[in-house]
Amino acid sequence: MLATILKSPRAVQTTIAIVEANAKLKELSRVIVEIPQQQDDKEAQRRLLHRSGQLVEDLMSDVLPKQSSDTTLELNLAMLKFRHTVHREKGE
């Protein structure tokens, strides 16, 4: 990856961030697929929705600007509508 071509600490950090983001995206994909399969167990669905929100927040939190803003991400899938809003204050 990037760190094999560019031999700098920043390239290594970027490569690690890419791998971590890819792992979180894969987990988010698995969680989203599992939610409709848990139709009978509302508590399991709630836990899965909460986990998907955590994953989206983890993926988006490092790239959001450090200012006072509200950012809303909305996913509208066939059986699932998911909205996550992040409010950030300058300096967080």
Nearest to 64 by CA among 83, 90, 82: 90
CA distances from residue 27 to 54, 72, 92 in whole angstroms, order as listed: 11, 21, 26
Does residue 92 carry a pLDDT above 50?
A: no
| pLDDT average, residue stretch 61-75 | 67
Is residue 20 included in any domain, yes or no?
yes
Is residue 66 included in any domain, yes or no?
yes
| pLDDT number for residue 83 | 77
Helix H or strand E encompassing 87: strand 81-88
Is residue 30 included in any domain, yes or no?
yes
pLDDT band at 26 (very low <50, low <70, confident <90, very high): very high
Dihedral pair phi/psi, residue 66, rounded to 5°:
-90, 75
pLDDT band at 91 (very low <50, low <70, confident <90, very high): low
Is residue 76 included in any domain, yes or no?
yes
Q: Which domain holds residue 80?
A: 7-88
Q: Tell me the whole-structure pTM to 2 decimals.
A: 0.60
User: How many whole angstroms separate alpha carbon 57 and alpha carbon 44?
Assistant: 20
| pLDDT average, residue stretch 17-31 | 90
**DSSP character at residue 73:** E
| pLDDT average, residue stretch 62-66 | 56
User: How many whole angstroms separate alpha carbon 13 and alpha carbon 10?
Assistant: 5
Is residue 68 included in any domain, yes or no?
yes
Q: How many domains does the chain have?
A: 1
| Tokens 């697929």 belong to residue | 33
